[in-house]
Structure formats: structure tokens, C-alpha cells
Structure 1
Amino acid sequence: MSGVVSGFTVILIVVVIGWLLGRFDVLGEHGISVLARLVFFVCTPALMITSLTSNDLSVVFSSTLAVAAITAVSVGAIYFLLVRLLWQRPVPEAVIGALSASYVNSVNLGLPIALFVLGDASFIAPLLLFQIMLYSPVALTVLDLTALDAAHRGSLWRTIGTPLSNPIVIGGLIGLALSLAGVHLPAAVFSPLDMLGKASVPLALLAFGLSLTGVKVFAKGAAPRRDIALASVLKMLVMPALAYVLARWGFGMTGHHLFAQVVIAALPTAQNVLVYATRYSRGDILARDSALVTTIASIPVIALLAVVLT
């Protein structure tokens, strides 16, 4: 429990510093964009390479991947079916809501929590690769087919292939290839990559803190409150519970591995969902408010998990 408190304290301090930078406009109007792009295009790909080349591949292709994938898809499907059948939501909004209920913030908060709370960044690698390489392409394909008219719709192959141009995926693929080939990078190459990779977590937290400046949730008349509430409950309560059941009784996990699996499921909604919602101009308030609500809720939820499971 002390490790969890210490880890969250470190994360919270850096996020607050990021919020203060935004509150006093220290980095200017493009501060969030610059930090986010630096994390996305440089630091996190470097972290993926160094993490995957430094760890056994059995960590990636393991029951951790299976639990994370099954849990996310199941919770997303539950949300989609509920809002389609009960509230008659259009497919694009239902897809964005399903992602809000199941797509984990594996970079901005996932990596820091994996490092400072779980003690190992490799716990997050399977989920990160699953979401970017499988979950996102499926969701984006559905959104392409339902949210855009024929004139603005890209080709199906282009939509499916988009994740392969993602620098984090490229970094992950390079790390996997090097690990599979048994290649050990020379110190002159590994050291700068390691330095950049270690910058990913603090920069991501600063960017996240910046993004919280001036945000208002549940705006009356604008926010779909029932949808946000449903997505948040599924994300913060149902998803960790399902991960626990699946990890413990489906895959026989115990101890720290069980705790890590449930904590990963209890991570908040990723900002990627807001990016997708903005791209298709559907469900953007739902995605934004769900991310903020689940981010705030994740702190007591993970702290409670630490009390119960450690």
C-alpha cells in the first residue's frame, strides 16, 4: 500500500505542475500539442524499444495480453449493446461510448502507474500493443463506415493500415523484432534511446496536467450525462471486476500479477478516444467528460484495490 501511495504522490505532483503550467500559460497556447507530439513521436517509441528488448517476450505474449483483450472487448460490447437497444443511440456515438468504457489510458497514466505503482513498465506493453494494433483499427473501421459519407470516407485498407504508421506501433514492432532476433543493442545506441524513453513518463504527465486546465464536465444541456455515467461505471467498476474474475479463475493468477492485471483494467479512459471523436465529429463531449471522470475516479479505485489485493 505504501508503494501505491508513493507512486500516486509522484504522479499527482507532476500532473499538478503540468496544470500550473497551463493555468499560468507558461508554455503558450501550443504547449500541450508540443509535449504530446514529443511523447508520441519520440519518447514513447524509444521506451517501447528499450522495454521490449530488455524483457522476455513471454511477458508480452502471455495471459496478461489475453485478459486485457478479453476484458476490453467484453466491456465495450456491453456498452454498445445497452445504448443501442435501450437508448437507440446512433452507431458512431455508441462506438465512441464503447471506447470510453473500455479503452485504457495506457500511455499518459498507464506507463507512470506501471513504473511507480506496479514496479515494471512491461505490464503495460501487452495492452498498449493490443489497443493500438487491434482494437483501434476495428473501431476506426466502424466509424469510417458509419460516421462519414462516401465522399469523405477513406479506403478500408487505408483505415486498417493506419495503425502501422503509428510511431508507437513502429517502436513496438522494432522492439519485438530485435527481441525475437536476439539482438542486443550496443550501449552507444541503447543509452540515448533509454534516455529518451525515460522522458516519456514525466512529459506525458505534464501534458496531461496541461490538458486539465479550464475543463468543465457535465455541462447542462450539452453533455450526454447518462452515457457518460454508464461509460464511467463500466470503466471503473465493471472492467476491473471482470479482469479480476478472468485473471484469477480463468488464468489462475495470484499475488502481484493478479493485482497488476486488475490495476491495468482500472486505468481511466484514454485521450485517444477524444482524438477519434474529434476526427469524426461524433461523441466528443462524451469522450472528453468520460476521460476526466474516470481519471479522477481511478485514484480512489486503485488505492482501494491496493488495500484489498496487496
Structure 2
Amino acid sequence: MAAVLSGFTIIWIVIAVGFLLARFRLVPADAQRVMGLLVYYVGLPSMLFVTVSAADLGDVLGVQFVIAALSAFATLAIFLIVARFLLRGRSASELFVGGVSSSLVNSANLGFPIAAYVIGDLTFAAPVLMFQLLLYMPVQASILDQLGRQDAGPRGRSLLRGLRQSAVNPMILGSLVGLAFAWQGWSLPEPAQESLALMGGIAIPLALLAFGITLASSSPLSRSGGRRRDVLLASVLKLGVHPALAYLLAAFGFGLDGVGLLAAVVMASLPAAQNALVLALRYDRGVVVARDTVLVSTLIGVPAMALVAVLLA
């Protein structure tokens, strides 16, 4: 449990720095958007390539990968179905960002320390991270590309042109090139590899700083934001429904028990990832929902994961 608390402490320290930077006006008003764009166009693609290209695909594309994928897509679908009836006046892009916030877990910041110290095996975090980096986030970015163009106005663009624009999405390119390198066993010259690793290293801290900056100019779950129901729905799905789906899939769909079952459920009970906010900032849709869902789920994530660990240990 100390590792879980340590992981959350690290996150909140960086978020607090971003908050203080904005509160004392040490950064411009639009700093969080600039940071989000840097993460989206530079940090995440570099991190995707470095992570995917170095992975042993045979080890990580197994049962835990499948459980992570099915439970995440199911949670996203449930959010969109429920939101259709409960949440009115939202664009398709904003609703989709809400679904992303309810199903994208903080595998980078918290997944590995929790896997090491709560589950007892670091490798259990790899399938979740690989699913999100290799498949889930690129798919989300591609869909938001399409929805963003629809929200913007005329729909006369051809499907082929839309697919071509999505294909050059930086996260998709980073994932696909990394996959090709891992599959073929290729490697870059050391200076190029180190440069990409260095640029990939900005993704997590800048995402956290951007999150803190957004908090300085708003009140989480405030009525004035007009998105309290969205945030509560996304948070309940993230910390309740998502782990429950993972449990059902692991226990009854794949017959897992013991450490395997614990790993599947604990990984699904991780709080929402800051990358949900990165996507929201990039497409300028659902920023309030993404920010507040990350905040709420991170605040109550420790007791939620502790409860899961106690029940399944």
C-alpha cells in the first residue's frame, strides 16, 4: 500500500506545481493548451514508439491484454449508451471524451508501482499499457478526428480523405512504427533512440502540469461548469463498472483466479489517466469532463484499489 500512496503522492506534487504556476500567474493563460499540444504531437508519439518498439509482443499480447481491451471498450460503450438518455446538449466529441475518461486507466504513472508492490509482479502492468498505447489511444484519437470534423461543420469531405487524415495522426504513427520495429527486431542508432526517449519523457510531467494549471481556473464539480452529471457518470463507471467488468471477464470468461484475477481487476480499478485530458485539450472538447473525472477518480482511487485488493487478496 505504501507504493500506491507513493504513486499518488508523486502525481499530486506535479499537479500542485502546475496549479501554483497558474495561481501565481507565472505562466500564460493558455499554457495548459500549449502543454497539451506538445504532449500530443511530441511527447506521446515518442513515448509510444520507444515503448512499443522495445516490447516483447508475445509476452504482453495475452489474456490480460484481451481483458483490458474488452473491459475498456465495454465501459466506453456503456457510457455512450447511458449518456444518450441522461446528458442532453452535448456534442458527439464531448460525449466521446466522457467515455474516454471513464475507461482510460492511469497505467503509466500508477500501473507499474501497483503491479510491483500490490500484485507482486511488474509484468502484469505491461499488457494494459500496451493495449492503451498500441490500440486504445490511437483508436480514440482517430474517432475524435472524425467527430471533430463533423462538429466543425460541413460534412462534404470524402471518407477516404478523412481516413487519410486520421492515418497521419501522430499517436497512430508512433504506435505503428513502433510495432514494425518490435516485429522485425529493428533498432535505431543510439543518438536517435535516446532523442526519442528524451522527448517521450515530457509526456507524463507535462500532462500532469497541464492538469494542475486547469484546476487553478475552475472549481471541480461546480454547478457553473454544467457538467457535474457527466463527471459523476464517468467516475462511477471508471471506479465501479470498469473493475466489475474486468472481474466478470477474468473469472467467468477466462477462468482466472488468484494473482491473475487480482491483476485484471486492480489494473481496471486504476483512476482515469491524464491522457484523457490531453485528448480533450487537443480537440478542445470535453475539457471540464476529462479534468474533473481525472481529479475525482484520482482522489478516491486509493480507497477503491485498497478495497479491491482486500476483497480479492
Normalising to structure 1: TM-score of the pair? Answer: 0.79
Equivalent residues of 1:102, 1:239 under 8 A apart: no
| Aligned mate of 2:108, from 99, 107, 111 | 111
Residue 246, structure 1, aligned to residue 244, structure 2: no
Paired AA for residue 38 in structure 1: L
Q: Unpaired segments of 5 or more residues in structure 2?
A: 117-121
Indicate the RMSD between aligned Cα atoms, in angstroms. 3.3
**What is the alpha-carbon distance in structure 2 between the residues aligned to residue 284 and residue 187 of structure 1?**
38
Equivalent residues of 1:64, 1:126 under 8 A apart: no
**What is the alpha-carbon distance in structure 2 between the residues aligned to residue 73 and residue 268 of structure 1?**
14
Compared CA separation, residues 253 and 168, structure 1 to 2 (3 A): farther
* CA-CA distance at 1:12 after TM superposition: 1.8
Equivalent residues of 1:100, 1:291 under 8 A apart: no
Secondary structure class of the residue paired with 1:205: helix
Please name the residue that 1:36 is paired with. 36
Compared CA separation, residues 170 and 260, structure 1 to 2 (3 A): farther
Please name the residue that 1:13 is paired with. 13
Residue 125, structure 1, aligned to residue 130, structure 2: yes
Equivalent residues of 1:43, 1:196 under 8 A apart: yes
Could you tell me the percent identity over the aligned residues? 32
Please name the residue that 2:57 is paired with. 57
Paired AA for residue 155 in structure 1: S
* CA-CA distance at 1:139 after TM superposition: 6.0
Compared CA separation, residues 242 and 194, structure 1 to 2 (3 A): same
Equivalent residues of 1:247, 1:253 under 8 A apart: yes
Secondary structure class of the residue paired with 1:217: coil
Deviates more, 1:258-267 or 1:170-179: 258-267
* CA-CA distance at 1:87 after TM superposition: 4.4
Paired AA for residue 110 in structure 1: S
**What is the alpha-carbon distance in structure 1 between the residues aligned to residue 255 and residue 287 of structure 2?**
39
**What is the alpha-carbon distance in structure 1 between the residues aligned to residue 278 and residue 208 of structure 2?**
15
Paired AA for residue 194 in structure 2: S
| Aligned mate of 1:166, from 141, 164, 169 | 169
Equivalent residues of 2:4, 2:302 under 8 A apart: no
Please name the residue that 1:200 is paired with. 203
Compared CA separation, residues 61 and 45, structure 1 to 2 (3 A): same
**What is the alpha-carbon distance in structure 2 between the residues aligned to residue 291 and residue 7 of structure 1?**
15
Compared CA separation, residues 278 and 29, structure 1 to 2 (3 A): closer
**What is the alpha-carbon distance in structure 2 between the residues aligned to residue 49 and residue 156 of structure 1?**
28
**What is the alpha-carbon distance in structure 1 between the residues aligned to residue 281 and residue 206 of structure 2?**
19
Alignment coverage as a number of residue pairs:
301
Please name the residue that 1:185 is paired with. 188
**What is the alpha-carbon distance in structure 1 between the residues aligned to residue 303 and residue 156 of structure 2?**
42
Please name the residue that 1:271 is paired with. 277
**What is the alpha-carbon distance in structure 1 between the residues aligned to residue 223 and residue 234 of structure 2?**
18
Equivalent residues of 2:144, 2:283 under 8 A apart: no
Q: Deviations over 1:233-277 (max 9, x none)?
A: 122211111112213332344566544543443331622563487
Compared CA separation, residues 57 and 268, structure 1 to 2 (3 A): same
Normalising to structure 2: TM-score of the pair? Answer: 0.78
- 1:201-220 matched pairs, under 5 angstroms: 201-220=204-223
Equivalent residues of 1:223, 1:286 under 8 A apart: no
Q: Unpaired segments of 5 or more residues in structure 1?
A: none
